[in-house]
Chain A
Amino acid sequence: MEPVLEVKNLVVGHCRKKQIQPIIKGIDFKVFPGQCLGILGESGSGKSMSLKAVMGLLGADFSVTGEAFFGGENLIGKTKEQLRQIRGKRVAMILQNPMTCFDPLYRIEDQLSETYREHTDLGRKEIYEKSLAVLIAMQIKNPEEVVKKYPHQLSGGMLQRIMIGLSMSMEPDLLIADEPTTAIDAITQFEIMKEFIRIKKESNTAMIFISHDLAVISAISDEVLVLNKGKMADQGSFRQIYEQPKDPYTRLLVEKKKSVMDQYHRVLGRKGVMSQ
């Protein structure tokens, strides 16, 4: 099977006063259609930076080298305009803070429709219908009312679902979820994860799931890549890295998680809360 995205030897550096400070020091990964790659690592390990670099979302003060093949084309070295046309349409991305990701001055409807206007030739009425369909697909009640609302009038979970719905309605080849569950509460987190698992089952979209949460990664990933300080620490299936972590850093992560879970089980006095 052809991978949707194949990243080889990606190096990202931050240029400051003619000195390049390396942030990501050569990582490789592949994602296949219908599969999910989980990228695990703590804050500052370069998880989301690496994908922002591939998508051309970093500022001019970053240097990006390496190769990132997407549909046979190398994304690195493409112009800003070429990358812009790919973003939002063929590669969709879901971000961490749904509450702050929408422009506070525009209604949900306006923000959905401007995205459709950018990437499709649909008319005004079709766009409106498509917006409603997105909300209905994401099980949001009263879609006609919700599209008329401003972001601050909706909950984080609702906005997150709108973001996911918008991304999936574009039928992208690749969906990148950048810590989509970090900024929302535990119950909503569970709902959102169900949404992702459903998407994975129903569509053939390749998925990259970035998180620092082992439990979340375990729920969805086929393959896991562990990053530590901009380097690849471990790579393999979830079971592999959970049971036999090769790298000392991965071992540390897993042990920490296990000891937290043990304590959790001791306090609650029952077992099997964390599903594997």
Chain B
Amino acid sequence: MKSYIVNRILSAIPLLLMISFLCFVFINMIPSDPAEVALRVRQTPVITEEAILQVREELGLNDPYLVRYLRWVGDCLKLDFGVSYTNPSRTVLGEISRCFPATFVLAMSSLVIVIVLSLPIGFFCAVYKDSLFDRIVRGIVFMTTAMPAYWVGLLLIWLISIKWDLLPTSGSGTIKHLILPSLTVALTYISTYIRLIRNNMLENMKEDYVLYANVRGLKQSTILVRHILKNSLHTCIVAIGMSVPQLMAGTIVVENVFAWPGLGKLCIASIFNRDYPVIQTYVLLIGTLFVVFNLLFDIIQSIADPRLRREVS
């Protein structure tokens, strides 16, 4: 068991290096000169050739690709992600850690909404398959899957904030501000998970162990909760784990709709300002989150599932 965990952690290292390399290459493929961008956002009145050369030297853009990559990776390992081009007085780490909590809160509250709603709804849809309830839910799920989050966000603002004046349209600070954005983020995931849990349960109902549990005369509630639900959740664990980084990355549009001061908003602002270090770090962060959560939930599943558990004999 221990060696399995160690192996999995070690195997994540080349993956992380690959992500960092791709991230570096792609950002550097953006067709505009970072030095020029830096000068422009610092509001230099006249951009001369000399100034550009000087900034290039200053930002270390003249070195070969690989040298710059290695230097960047080395700095990243020391948690030094450089300085924002837009605002040289701010470090990228400072910017990211300033925005991270807001996104984290948004993602977590969305996750809670997703789990609280999709688990019971999916469960009852499977138990009462093809009933009126199931058919209505399936219709709603079908619709919400097709609705893009930014559009739902705008609709919610229009209906709840403007027409009924119940919740603030944008901003952050109180629980009231949190409701609309997290609901918007959660909506797409709720439909995915209702479907996932429902289908997983229906699959499990066909298994022999359910027939045998019936043969043994167990109560229907015992079979549904103790056996079918537990088995279905086991297959959902990884999917739910992976949705944490997905939620963090997925807030990008919703944050901009609701003016939520999180990572997504920072990222969009940086893209408009061509603030390369911030974009690069954001992409790296999200990539790393995916790898880390994948790793984490693989390990959790291998501990939770007796079939994957390797016993030390």
- Using known A-B contacts A104-B231, A114-B222, A152-B307, determine if residue A85 contacts B209 with beta carbons closer than 8 Å: no
Q: Is there an interface contact between A115 and B209, defined as CB atoms closer than 8 Å?
A: no
Residues of A within 8 A of B217 (CB): 84-89, 115, 118-119
B214 touches A (CB below 8 Å): yes
Q: Mark A76-89, 1 if CB is under 8 A from B, else 0.
A: 00001000111111
Q: Mark B222-264, 1 if CB is under 8 A from A, else 0.
A: 1000110011001000000000000000000000000000000
B208 touches A (CB below 8 Å): yes
A80-B231 Cα distance, complex, nearest whole Å? 24
Q: Is there an interface contact between A88 and B218, defined as CB atoms closer than 8 Å?
A: yes
Q: How large is the interface on A (under 10, 10 to 19, 20 to 34, 35 or more residues)?
A: 20 to 34
Q: Is there an interface contact between A102 and B212, defined as CB atoms closer than 8 Å?
A: yes
- Using known A-B contacts A105-B306, A152-B307, determine if residue A115 contacts B218 with beta carbons closer than 8 Å: yes
- A152-172, CB < 8 A from B: 152, 163, 166
Nearest Cβ in chain A — how far from B230, in angstroms? Answer: 6
Residues of B within 8 A of A166 (CB): 216
Q: Mark B189-228, 1 if CB is under 8 A from A, else 0.
A: 0000000000000000001110111111111101000110
Nearest Cβ in chain B — how far from A142, in angstroms? Answer: 15
Q: Is there an interface contact between A150 and B306, defined as CB atoms closer than 8 Å?
A: yes
Residues of B within 8 A of A57 (CB): 211, 214-215
Residues of B within 8 A of A126 (CB): none
Q: Mark B97-141, 1 if CB is under 8 A from A, else 0.
A: 000000000000000000000000000000000000000000000
**Which residue among A102, A114, A119 has the maximum number of chain B CB atoms within 10 Å of its CB?**
A114
A101-B215 Cα distance, complex, nearest whole Å? 10
- Using known A-B contacts A95-B212, A103-B213, A104-B231, determine if residue A118 contacts B219 with beta carbons closer than 8 Å: yes
A95-B220 Cα distance, complex, nearest whole Å? 19
Q: Is there an interface contact between A104 and B209, defined as CB atoms closer than 8 Å?
A: yes
Choice from B207, B215, B219, B227 contacting A100 with Cβ under 8 Å: B207
Secondary structure of the B contact surface, majority rule: helix
- Using known A-B contacts A115-B216, A152-B307, determine if residue A105 contacts B222 with beta carbons closer than 8 Å: no
- Using known A-B contacts A57-B215, A118-B216, determine if residue A100 contacts B307 with beta carbons closer than 8 Å: no
A119-B111 Cα distance, complex, nearest whole Å? 41
B33 touches A (CB below 8 Å): no
A12-B147 Cα distance, complex, nearest whole Å? 45
Q: Is there an interface contact between A93 and B227, defined as CB atoms closer than 8 Å?
A: no
Nearest Cβ in chain B — how far from A37, in angstroms? Answer: 19
Nearest Cβ in chain B — how far from A86, in angstroms? Answer: 7
A189 touches B (CB below 8 Å): no
A92-B208 Cα distance, complex, nearest whole Å? 16
Q: Mark B3-38, 1 if CB is under 8 A from A, else 0.
A: 000000000000000000000000000000000000
A218 touches B (CB below 8 Å): no
A164-B211 Cα distance, complex, nearest whole Å? 16
A97 touches B (CB below 8 Å): yes
- Using known A-B contacts A105-B234, A152-B306, determine if residue A97 contacts B208 with beta carbons closer than 8 Å: yes
B305 touches A (CB below 8 Å): yes
Q: Is there an interface contact between A103 and B307, defined as CB atoms closer than 8 Å?
A: no
Nearest Cβ in chain A — how far from B80, in angstroms? Answer: 46
Residues of B within 8 A of A115 (CB): 216-218
- Using known A-B contacts A104-B307, A150-B306, determine if residue A87 contacts B212 with beta carbons closer than 8 Å: no
Residue of A nearest to B226 (CB): A114
Q: Is there an interface contact between B231 and A95, defined as CB atoms closer than 8 Å?
A: no
Q: Mark B291-309, 1 if CB is under 8 A from A, else 0.
A: 0000000000000011100
Question: Could you show 27 A-B contacts with beta carbons less than 8 Å apart?
Answer: A55-B215, A57-B211, A84-B219, A85-B217, A87-B214, A87-B216, A88-B215, A88-B216, A88-B217, A88-B218, A95-B211, A100-B207, A101-B211, A102-B209, A103-B213, A103-B227, A105-B227, A105-B231, A105-B234, A106-B227, A115-B217, A115-B218, A118-B217, A118-B219, A152-B306, A163-B212, A166-B216
Q: Which residues of B contact A (CB under 8 A)?
A: 207-209, 211-220, 222, 226-227, 230-231, 234, 305-307
If A87-B215, A88-B218, A104-B209 are given as contacts, then 20 extra A-B residue pairs at C-beta distance below 8 Å, sorted by A number, are A84-B219, A87-B214, A88-B216, A89-B217, A100-B208, A101-B208, A101-B209, A101-B212, A103-B209, A103-B213, A103-B231, A104-B305, A104-B306, A105-B230, A105-B231, A114-B218, A118-B218, A152-B306, A152-B307, A166-B216
Query: Shortest 3 CB-CB distances between A and B: which pairs?
Result: A88-B217, A87-B217, A101-B212
